[in-house]
Structure 1
Amino acid sequence: MSTDVLVIGGGNAALCAALMAAEAGASVLLLEAAPREWRGGNSMHTRNLRCMHDAPQDVLVDAYPEEEFWQDLLKVTGGVTNERLARLTIRASSSCRDWMRKHGVRFQPPLSGALHVARTNAFFMGGGKALVNAYYRSAERLGVRIRYDAPVDRVEIEDGRFVAAWVKGERIAARACVLAAGGFESNREWLREAWGRNERGEWPADNFLIRGTRYNRGVLLKHLLDDHGADRIGDPTQAHMVAIDARAPLYDGGICTRIDCVSLGVVVNRDGERFYDEGEDFWPKRYAIWGRLVAQQPGQVAHSIIDAKAVGRFMPPVFPGVVANTLPELAVKVGLPVERFMHTLQAYNAACRVGTFDHTALDDCHTQGVVPPKTHWARPIDTAPFYAYAVRPGVTFTYLGLRTDETAAVRFQDVPSQNLFVAGEMMAGNVLGKGYTAGVGMSIGTAFGRIAGTHAARAALDEGAKEHASA
């Protein structure tokens, strides 16, 4: 079997690549490892796309210029990013929505619990599932062939050129290929290998939950890195890792398991001690650091503690919190050492310097004389009832991937392939060396999916023209 362009993967980046290649006139075959009912990878759990814009645009208010987007990204990554590729992503985010609409994606104003990103993020009507379904419908109309339950076991590469892929013993040849098969977050063995044991002798990865798909096992990524020597980017322990409800399912818990009240209270580990500034910055810019922070705590578990003053100020998770009328009672209910917990809460409450509380701004409510500090939104936790949410690290996607460039080409010993391209989670580490800010994963996947599809179609059609001329 053969095709002009083979797309390996079934989420946002893969679909963008398939659509662009088909629009360019190439024949396209898309291979999705999951069954049809679970198609879309992690994209089906998404909600929005971070967009640069210089003026108000329908659902986006005010302006979010390139430099502000870049500074936000620079801050969350700590500078571990390729500025050239990051700015390419940022600029692409300003012009993709008309194309997305053409393929059936609809946008809506953000829900009330997400108004703080109304300026920076465009929300999909119906969420990521609706986006994925719209793209699949459009792909089918354009003649893209789609196969489900089609995991790629290995690929043939000769001198940096893609030749064919193998799926359950079947060889599929193509003139060009786009790799968009996700990271390795659902591969427990690889997570264990990456994280190792900590100083307490624990295997932190054993306590990780996977926010997204169970099908992102990194088989193709490992094959490219280990067997074909593709150039790599990123730290295998770095990931979009969020503190999610400890009661969440092992896979596919999605957005509703995220605990969003962190900045409104305090977070303590199982020893009843705080370990990081809960009010460091706006939640959309900092929520993705908390999974890694919890991963470094004993037992990879923590508890987000709030009081009645916080209720109604955050997007409620799918599971209710543990409730008590006193703080000691709350500690007992969730299994925390009461004396240590009360010492922590009393020290925090005494340190609060309450000014004008405003959760939509970097307000002047802060702590003084306590470590770690709380920089904003610090108010005493003193109003019953009290609530606790147990959290564990929830891995969305990993950042170890394939090094690439502006053409989305896979590189071998720093030489770009002429017909093998990469998009989405498999290359996100070029832009995200660490950290995260809401919606930027979709920005990367959309930008590089479209770039990869365009270049793959061009490479395939050029190859086809050469074959025809020499026939």
Structure 2
Amino acid sequence: MIDVLVIGGGNAALCAALMAREAGASVLLLEAAPRAWRGGNSQHTRNLRCMHDAPQDVLVDAYPEEEFWQDLLKVTGGLTNEKLARLVIRASSNCRGWMRRHGVHFQPSLSGALHTARTNAFFMGGGKALVNAYYRSAEKLGVEIRYDSPVARVEVKGGRFIAAHIGEREVDGRRLPAERLEARTCVLAAGGFESNREWLREAWGQNERGEWPAENFLVRGTRFNNGVLLRELMGQGADTIGDPTQAHMVAIDARAPLYDGGICTRIDCVSLGVVVNRNGERFYDEGEDFWPKRYAIWGRLVAQQPGQVGFSIIDQKALGRFMPPVFPGTTANTLDELARQLGLPEATFVATVEAYNRACRVGTFDHTSLDDCHTEGIQPAKTHWARPLDSPPYYGYPLRPGVTFTYLGLRTDETATVHFDGKPSPNLFVAGEMMAGNVLGKGYTAGVGMSIGTAFGRIAGTRAAMAAGYRTTSRENEHDCATA
């Protein structure tokens, strides 16, 4: 019998599999996706938010625990478990040595990735390179890996994991039979339900305009995160946490594909101009805070607008100050012409931009600080980086909500254990997006999802190995056990 069964194939699952195997346990990892699409949402990531008290190779200056915690507290509005959040923060300070030993390489913050040189360690080659490095290491260590293996249900009796069931499926033209896989322990790391269109529609419902907002959502990440195991565990009485409408949701290019658009579909010029809805009206402060702390609120903001669409508008002055998007913007030499090309009501759009221009109080523009360029006399205000849009050509980018991962998940504690009616399971653990809602009640700050997945993946793998009868053998395992 397998000691540790890991269900999932992204960062958290791989961290769990590696830690369990390092402790001596036999490990089987089940990835729902084909090999070419392995890695879940992690393949679309690019960095890890890291606490550090002094400069560390690719990280400059310092990013101490309290500042990390305050950043997280601000974006979540207090909807976070402080104990678990601080566990993640502290774990982020000492995981990179272990990651390097498993083949992950780091590089300095990318040019155009604003304000992250101090807070985020970037993966050389991005998330796909990280995922590939972990898979190579897992294979070398003897982790058994099976692709095209979506788990349809799990057997749980009295809170104890018994077995996982894989249904019949077709792979490369071959019909594979259903399977039942027993294991001494299990780690659930199969992601949220963002690619389950029906569940998103159910969660978001119908708005006051008679629209079903979720029908217009795009999915930035993997098409394989459909929430089957999350709903399965909920049906078996597992304790849950989180609001099903809360998610890491970004305003992305409306021309992006339905699935797997990734980071390159993000529009990063919001703070350098204005954003209007399809009625040609502004609806939120574009300069509220630094972009890495606010980019993830814009998906939800756009989701609340008519038709779930918005438009990011800049002029020539903004060029070169943000990461260029994958699709070119619509370009025009006049505001009227831009409105016509974007399908916006010309008079309203022009009046909106002109009112904004008149309200701008330009001081010393500095996009690397919370500068004194702001508006007066209009609502919503723009509190920083407010400069008139008066230098043609003008550029417009259509926006739609892009869901990265959902926050409804399984409630856990510092041991990464799944709970049933408040009682911890003796052998069922959870990591990654399936439990991120314990730390992220709402909001997001760049790189923290990978921090959560890495911390809890390592803890879950260590605990699963211990539950299977293995003691820790490495400093990393010992550290995580002590932390937990």
**TM-score when scaled to structure 1?**
0.97
Match of 2:430 in 1: 422
Q: 1:186 aligns with which of 172, 186, 195?
A: 195
- Give yes or no for the alignment of 1:326 onto 2:334: yes
Match of 1:174 in 2: 183
| Structure 1 segment 434-453 matched on structure 2, within 5 A | 434-453=442-461
CA distance in 1, matches of 2:377, 2:160: 60
Match of 2:134 in 1: 135
SS in 1 for 2:317: helix
CA distance in 2, matches of 1:196, 1:96: 40
AA partner of residue 99 (structure 1): W
- Give yes or no for the alignment of 1:201 onto 2:210: yes
AA partner of residue 389 (structure 1): Y
Structure 1 moving runs of 4+ over 3 Å: none
Shift in Å at residue 343 of structure 1?
1.1
CA distance in 2, matches of 1:103, 1:402: 28
Is the 8 Å Cα contact of residues 114 and 322 (structure 2) preserved in structure 1?
no
- Give yes or no for the alignment of 1:108 onto 2:107: yes
Match of 2:282 in 1: 274
AA partner of residue 278 (structure 1): E
Shift in Å at residue 462 of structure 1?
5.7
* Residues 233-281 of structure 1, C-alpha deviations (whole Å, 9 max, x = no match): 0000000000000000000000000000000000000000000000000
Match of 1:467 in 2: none
AA partner of residue 98 (structure 1): G
AA partner of residue 178 (structure 1): V
Match of 2:229 in 1: 220
Root mean square deviation of aligned Cα: 0.8
Is the 8 Å Cα contact of residues 50 and 89 (structure 2) preserved in structure 1?
yes
* Residues 71-113 of structure 1, C-alpha deviations (whole Å, 9 max, x = no match): 0000000000000000000000000000000000000011111
| Structure 1 segment 222-237 matched on structure 2, within 5 A | 222-226=231-235, 228-237=236-245
Match of 2:364 in 1: 356
Q: 2:403 aligns with which of 368, 389, 395?
A: 395
Shift in Å at residue 115 of structure 1?
4.8
SS in 2 for 1:62: coil
CA distance in 1, matches of 2:336, 2:322: 24
Is the 8 Å Cα contact of residues 25 and 470 (structure 2) preserved in structure 1?
no
Q: 1:299 aligns with which of 299, 304, 307?
A: 307
CA distance in 2, matches of 1:218, 1:390: 29
Match of 2:121 in 1: 122
* Residues 191-245 of structure 1, C-alpha deviations (whole Å, 9 max, x = no match): 000000000000000000000100000000000002x110000000000000000
| Structure 1 segment 17-28 matched on structure 2, within 5 A | 17-28=16-27
SS in 2 for 1:114: coil
Match of 1:317 in 2: 325
CA distance in 1, matches of 2:34, 2:210: 38
- Give yes or no for the alignment of 1:338 onto 2:333: no
Is the 8 Å Cα contact of residues 23 and 470 (structure 2) preserved in structure 1?
no
Is the 8 Å Cα contact of residues 114 and 292 (structure 2) preserved in structure 1?
no
Match of 1:67 in 2: 66
Match of 2:482 in 1: none
SS in 1 for 2:83: helix
Q: Paired residues, what number?
A: 461
Match of 1:466 in 2: none
CA distance in 2, matches of 1:176, 1:359: 50
AA partner of residue 290 (structure 2): F
CA distance in 1, matches of 2:104, 2:449: 17
AA partner of residue 429 (structure 1): G
CA distance in 1, matches of 2:394, 2:351: 16
CA distance in 2, matches of 1:349, 1:462: 66
- Give yes or no for the alignment of 1:265 onto 2:270: no
For structure 2, list consecutive stretches of 5 or more residues without a partner in the other structure.
168-177, 472-484
CA distance in 2, matches of 1:460, 1:210: 37
Identity fraction in percent: 82
- Give yes or no for the alignment of 1:384 onto 2:392: yes
CA distance in 2, matches of 1:185, 1:208: 10
Match of 1:287 in 2: 295
SS in 2 for 1:175: strand
* Residues 311-361 of structure 1, C-alpha deviations (whole Å, 9 max, x = no match): 110000000000000001000000000111111111100000000000000
CA distance in 1, matches of 2:147, 2:38: 8
AA partner of residue 273 (structure 1): E
CA distance in 1, matches of 2:60, 2:378: 38
* Residues 361-413 of structure 1, C-alpha deviations (whole Å, 9 max, x = no match): 00000000000000000000010000000000000000000000000000100
CA distance in 2, matches of 1:222, 1:369: 48
Shift in Å at residue 117 of structure 1?
0.4
CA distance in 2, matches of 1:257, 1:36: 24
* Residues 269-302 of structure 1, C-alpha deviations (whole Å, 9 max, x = no match): 0000000000000000000000000000000000
SS in 2 for 1:186: coil
AA partner of residue 354 (structure 1): V
AA partner of residue 36 (structure 2): E
Shift in Å at residue 54 of structure 1?
0.3
CA distance in 2, matches of 1:94, 1:415: 31
